[in-house]
Amino acid sequence: MTIHYLAKPADGTSVAEFDLTEAGSSPRLVDLIARAREVAAIAAAHAVIVDAEGRFPHEAIAAAKAAGLIGAMVPVELGGEGAAISTIAEVCYTLAGGCASTAMIYAMHQIKVACVVRHSALSPWHQDFLRRVARNQLLLASSTTEGQGGGDVRSSSAAVMHEQSRINLERAATVMSYGEQADAVVTTARRGPDAAASDQVLVVFEKADYTLDRTLEWETLGMRGTRSAGFAMKATGRDQQILPEPYADIHAQTMTPVAHILWGGAWAGVAASAVERARLYTRKSARGMEGQTPPSAVHFTRAAAALRQLRTLVATSLARYQAIEHDPAALAAMDFQTAITLLKVDASELAVAAVMSAMRACGLSGYRNDGDASLGRHLRDILSAPIMINNDRILANVAMSALLTDTPQSLHD
Ligand SMILES: Cc1cc2nc3c(=O)[nH]c(=O)nc-3n(C[C@H](O)[C@H](O)[C@H](O)COP(=O)(O)OP(=O)(O)OC[C@H]3O[C@@H](n4cnc5c(N)ncnc54)[C@H](O)[C@@H]3O)c2cc1C
């Protein structure tokens, strides 16, 4: 089976050479993409109603669980499929072609799985938890946004309180996607009552460990199926549920790179779906003009070009991350951290540009909500990308490291 990757390699190798089987991956992983396509078809069939009702995509997530997609990243020795981040990014891209909310839910879940897989090797509790994620296809939610802190992920207010081996956490989780539908929550918190806001840990709480009282609805322009409501969260558990490594390391080595790559994959999938609608519309218009290129084709060209850039950006970032995935020093290097952080800014802006150009290519037909070329949902969904951890905040945060980095003197630096 040939897998159409986010971007072809620059060295001219053919797509066929990227066949997962030939690349040495198990046929099960190739099959994972085929299963993702089936789930994407189910997601697509329900995308309009999920958006209109602003409800969780139950059908698509149930199908993803039934197809084993939820536990795919868990290592084989713990009962999962050991899927690489490149495969999971491809699944995000595929799902997003059907329903952006489904793809984003899948991406957010896998970001948390990646954090637990990578940073809990010495923790029997987490290894057992991962076995259950694979066996029972447990869906993990992520809680980083707290109170009025917005997207400042590297700062927590609520602290983990210890009572011998028991822990308690009470936190204002102001935005938590599918909090009510998840089987577990993976949350940041201050290490203890005396710790600084940036001295954080990551903790896993299973559904029986917490209560969520809704404090804020999720009545939004787009990504309506993610059900990212606000909650007062009260959790209790055992101290073994805290990941053994500091969140600062988890954030730099896994959380940021995996989030930005998987979000980029999902946004590229939304953009690809919009570009495909614009392509079909433009071709139909050309047929109506006896083969002449319609004037709006210029917008289609722009949409396709933005999508190409986006796919290349995500694919090259992915390759760069995979090359140093197990090298903490290389991951911590300022140049890598700057690049992987800015991936989010650039990918989100390219995705918006691609969908906006697709909408302009389709004109009124794209603006309408009732035709094959309708792009309103794509546009509303993709407009979440620049604000999901606000690009302004990210640009302000990387300004200092950007200033400290020398300007390249050669094309090949
Ligand atoms: C679809 C979706 C799903 C989400 N799911 C989750 C989830 O599951 N769990 C979770 O914890 N969170 C989730 N979030 C929230 C997300 O992680 C961020 O917390 C949220 O997007 C921050 O939004 P904000 O605009 O309120 O906050 P802020 O980041 O505080 O931004 C507010 C405003 O301040 C400006 N601003 C902030 N800092 C700076 C700066 N340094 N320089 C210049 N301007 C600045 C921004 O431009 C913006 O206009 C989700 C968000 C979205 C859109």
* Tens place of pLDDT per residue across the chain (413 aa): 333 334 433 333 333 333 333 344 556 666 999 999 999 999 999 999 999 999 999 999 999 999 999 999 999 999 999 999 999 999 999 999 999 999 999 999 999 999 999 999 889 999 999 999 999 999 999 999 999 877 789 999 999 999 999 999 999 999 999 999 999 999 999 999 999 999 999 999 999 999 999 999 999 999 999 999 999 999 999 999 999 999 999 999 999 999 999 999 999 999 999 999 999 999 999 888 887 888 889 999 999 999 999 999 999 999 999 999 999 999 999 999 999 999 999 999 999 999 999 999 999 999 999 999 999 999 999 999 999 999 999 999 888 777 887 888 998 87
What CATH number should be reported for the domain holding residue 206?
2.40.110.10
Which of 175, 177, 262 to mutate to test ligand 1, by most ligand atoms within 8 A of the CB atom? 175
User: Which of 212, 241, 270 is the last residue before a domain boundary?
Assistant: 241
**What per-residue confidence (pLDDT) applies to 26?**
58
Which of 108, 200, 392 to mutate to test ligand 1, by most ligand atoms within 8 A of the CB atom? 392
What is the whole-number distance in angstroms between the Cα of residue 95 and the centre of ligand 1?
A: 24
Ligand 1 atom closest to 145 (CA): 11
Residue 359 CA to residue 383 CA, distance in Å, equals: 13
Check: CB of residue 192 under 8 Å from CB of residue 159.
Answer: yes
Which residues, judged by CB distance below 6 Å to any ligand atom, belong to the binding site of ligand 1?
108, 142-145, 150-151, 175-177, 223, 226, 228, 384, 387-390, 392-393, 396
Check: CB of residue 119 under 8 Å from CB of residue 251.
Answer: no
What CATH number should be reported for the domain holding residue 32?
1.10.540.10
The answer to whether residues 260 and 388 belong to one domain is yes
**What per-residue confidence (pLDDT) applies to 405?**
79
5, 38, 297, 391 from 19: Cα distances, Å: 9, 19, 33, 35
What is the whole-number distance in angstroms between the Cα of residue 123 and the centre of ligand 1?
A: 32
User: Residue 32's closest CA among 111, 113, 117, 92?
Assistant: 92
Determine, yes or no, domain membership for 337: yes
Determine, yes or no, domain membership for 57: yes
Residue nearest to atom 13 of ligand 1 (CA): 175
Residue 148 CA to residue 36 CA, distance in Å, equals: 36
Residue nearest to atom 27 of ligand 1 (CA): 150
DSSP string, 158-227: SB-EEETTEEEEEEEEEEETTTTT-SEEEEEEESSTTS-TT-EEEEEEEGGGEEEEEEE----SS-GGG-
**What per-residue confidence (pLDDT) applies to 399?**
87
The answer to whether residues 400 and 285 belong to one domain is yes
Residue 75 CA to residue 97 CA, distance in Å, equals: 27
What is the whole-number distance in angstroms between the Cα of residue 303 and the centre of ligand 1?
A: 27
The answer to whether residues 130 and 148 belong to one domain is no
Residue 320's domain comprises 247-404
Determine, yes or no, domain membership for 48: yes
The answer to whether residues 279 and 394 belong to one domain is yes
The answer to whether residues 277 and 212 belong to one domain is no
What is the whole-number distance in angstroms between the Cα of residue 177 and the centre of ligand 1?
A: 13
Determine, yes or no, domain membership for 2: no
What CATH number should be reported for the domain holding residue 322?
1.20.140.10
Determine, yes or no, domain membership for 410: no
Residue nearest to atom 48 of ligand 1 (CA): 390
Ligand 1 atom closest to 390 (CA): 29
Contacts (Cβ under 8 Å, ≥6 apart) of 266: 92, 93, 95, 96, 100, 103, 104, 106, 107
The answer to whether residues 261 and 221 belong to one domain is no
The answer to whether residues 312 and 341 belong to one domain is yes
Chain centroid to CA 381: 13
Determine, yes or no, domain membership for 162: yes
Contacts (Cβ under 8 Å, ≥6 apart) of 353: 302, 306
**What per-residue confidence (pLDDT) applies to 25?**
52
What is the whole-number distance in angstroms between the Cα of residue 204 and the centre of ligand 1?
A: 22
What is the whole-number distance in angstroms between the Cα of residue 389 and the centre of ligand 1?
A: 4
The answer to whether residues 261 and 189 belong to one domain is no
Ligand 1 atom closest to 384 (CA): 53
Check: CB of residue 314 under 8 Å from CB of residue 265.
Answer: yes
Q: In the chain, how many domains are there?
A: 3
**What per-residue confidence (pLDDT) applies to 412?**
82
What is the whole-number distance in angstroms between the Cα of residue 366 and the centre of ligand 1?
A: 29
